[in-house]
Amino acid sequence: MMPSVMVRLVWATAGAVWLGTALAQVSEEEELALTYGDKDTVSIATGEKQTLRRAPSIATVITAEDIAAMGATDLDEVMETVPGVHVARSANLYAPLYIFRGIYTQANTETLMLLNGVPMTTLYAGNRGNIWGGLPLENVARIEVIRGPGSALYGADAFSGVINIITKTAADTPGTEFGVRAGSFNSKDAWIQHGGQLGSVDVAAYLRVGRTDGLRNMVTADAQTRYDSLLHTSASLAPSPVNTGHDAIDASLTLGYENWRVNMGYKDRDNVGTGAGIAYALDPVGKAGSRRFNADLSWADAKISRDWGAGFTASYLHYEQLIPDYFQLLPPGANVGGGAFGSAGAIGAPFTWEEQKRLSAFATYSGFLGQKLRFSLGHDDLNLYRTAEYRNFTYAANGALVPNVGGALVDYSAGGLFLLPHRRKVDYGYVQDEWQVAQDWTLTGGVRRDVYSDVGGTTNPRLALVWDAAYDVTAKVLYGRAFRAPSFGEMYGATNPSNSGNASLRPETIHTMEAAVSWQARKDTQINVSVFHYVINDLILSIANAGGLGSTYQNVGNYNGKGAEVEAVWDASRSLRLTANYSFQRSFDLTHETDAGYAPHNHIYVRGDWRFAGGWMASAQVDRVGDRDRAFGDSRAALPNYTTVDLTLRTDRNAHGWGFAGSIRNLFNATVVEPSLAPGTSLPNDLPQAGRSLYLQATYAL
């Protein structure tokens, strides 16, 4: 028998379709065609703008109009709608994990995020920063996503997928807009953005201030619960809620003059909650913060002469990881074999400061018949130039926490730091050739060579054959190799024997084969199908040392995966659009001959948007996540499936004057959990996610 939530889901979807069709019939004589922005072109696939269906990659484009229609307020909500992608959570700080095609790792280091084409990767963790605190969308013009490898163009970390966030220019934000939003979890946001001209310079500016208490769902057992059971103590705070709030400031400034562009951004996060605890023991008092400042200057001219184009980008990123309120790693009274902690518990605060300077230049040449060559050289100077650490304990050889005498909080900056400063330099070059080998055939080949000052060199090729089989059918066959360089924490981590660094680590590698067909089935119907297979070697995992004392990062993971993704878009009428996608994947741990674990084998997404009289738009979306197995060493039952339904109602976002929006997320209050990782003894009942929530929003555009 179909579960009750699915019955309600079917009725809700059917009702939405019926209502949309009825409203469309009423509005047949009106020009109410949905506007979804430029979804037909993409630049992330080759570095230059081209049609999406002919791009030599499997790509998805989400526009600002899409974001408004689905009612998304944060990047997490957008990424969950992308075929082949699922958004999970880390127990630490509840940071989002953007899982591409079943490649699930604790820090999500295998997904590269770009901001206007520039990497956002931080050096210590090797991801976009654990102290994330969300990414708002008011200033986002479009999000371009590659599913699959991208190292031949973007280098390190473009392993399982690439996300490029493109912010709004003056053309995207004509005039001035004010906005406010309030919703569940005591969430509040206010922003202002403006686009215009200052003389002959295009100017776009944005400022947003927000805060949230975050979801407060209960964790019924944590790591300290297990310690209490083993050592006959009673220190655990479970059951208690997770700690997920934060305060936020976001700002950006974009200037454009002829072929020149300057982007500057600031992302400030304070009072970021520790999630389910840094050491998987609930921490209701610990808070974290981060500061990120980025700037880039670029110039590009597609026609500096008849056959040549050229451009360059210089960028700077400064990132700080700050712990203003110490992490409470273990609660008061805890004893994990090294002695009992007092009223403060086991507390610590690691700090990092880093700066990244990147310079790259490219040239294009189209003088050969039917070919377009692209050459690029670049240099990255990546400097984690300062670290600091305070804690009231030391580590035993087996990783146990031993209280300092008298519970003293000690500054370990003079010795015993978790990580010393390190610097990495990277030189790279690549060449790419787009060759129209026949009237309807294009072959794109490329190769990039990266040379690291600490891990040596790596070469990553790509090859893509695109065939316009008919005026309404395009087929692609793709191959790519990608890599991820070890993070500074994985290579140089010290002090904590539970996760010791290993300076001998090699880059992870992945080889991926893909095939895809894009079919314009009718004038109003688009269908895309893709299949893939990949092999991963040298995945970096933390492995127990011989004798069972602590663990060390090692290149021991070997995996493969396969799957398929199907997308369909149907413009049922001028006022009704239906969008759906289905993703299937199976990823395998070859070392242990078992499922890689945690990522959904089946993922279904359906959305219906319709417009009706008065300039209103309504949207209903359904997200079904199913069949998530456990990884090797995790004996718990498979994760439960879940289905969420979201509803959004808003006025036309293009209208001047007042605009209003409201959204209900997880309408039927489905129970949603994301996995805690193997062996599952620290957080045996996984990570609870938000139930039903809502927000209301008002904007005023001049």
Burial class (CB in 10 A: 0-12, 13-18, 19+), 138: buried
User: What is the reported pLDDT for 22?
Assistant: 42
Q: What is the separation of C-alpha 166 from the centre of its chain, rounded to a whole number of angstroms? A: 14
What is the average pLDDT value for the chain, to the nearest integer? 93
Which one of 3.40.50.1580, 2.40.170.20, 3.10.520.10, 2.40.40.20 gives the CATH number of domain 4-701? 2.40.170.20
Report pLDDT digits (tens) over 454-512: 999 999 999 999 999 999 999 999 999 999 999 999 999 999 888 899 999 999 999 99
Residues with Cβ within 8 Å of 18's Cβ and at least 6 positions away in sequence, in order, are: none
Q: How many CA atoms lie within 13 A of 458 on its CB side?
A: 23
The two beta strands, 111-115 and 161-167, are parallel
In this predicted model, what pLDDT tens digit does every residue of 342-354 receive, in sequence order?
A: 999 999 999 999 9
CA dist 144 and 140 (Å) reads 11
What digits encode the pLDDT tens for the residues 564-609? 999 999 999 989 999 999 999 999 999 999 999 999 999 999 999 9
Q: How confident is the model at residue 250 (pLDDT cuts 50, 70, 90)?
A: very high
Task: Give the integer Cα–Cα distance in Å for 155 and 502.
Answer: 22
Q: Is the pLDDT of residue 25 over 90?
A: no
The rounded distance, in Å, linking the Cα atoms of 360 and 377 is 6
What is the C-alpha to C-alpha distance for residues 427 and 450, in angstroms, rounded to an integer? 6
Average pLDDT over residues 440-445: 96
User: Residue 606 contacts by C-beta under 8 Å, 6 or more apart in sequence?
Assistant: 13, 578, 579, 580, 621, 622
Q: Which distant-in-sequence residues (6+ apart) come within 8 Å of 317 by Cβ?
A: 118, 120, 292, 293, 294, 355, 356, 358
Summarised one tens digit per residue, pLDDT across range 333-382 is: 999 988 999 999 999 999 999 999 999 999 999 999 889 999 999 999 99
The tokens of 381 are what? 């100077």
Q: What is the pLDDT of residue 655?
A: 63
Q: Burial letters for 195-204: b for 16+ Cβ neighbours within 10 Å, e otherwise? A: beeeeeebbb
Cis status of the peptide bond prior to 679, with omega within 30 of 0: yes
Domain spans of the chain, in order of start: 4-701
Q: State how far the Cα of 512 lies from the Cα of 560, in Å rounded to an integer.
A: 10
How far, in Å, CA of 341 to CA of 405, rounded? 10
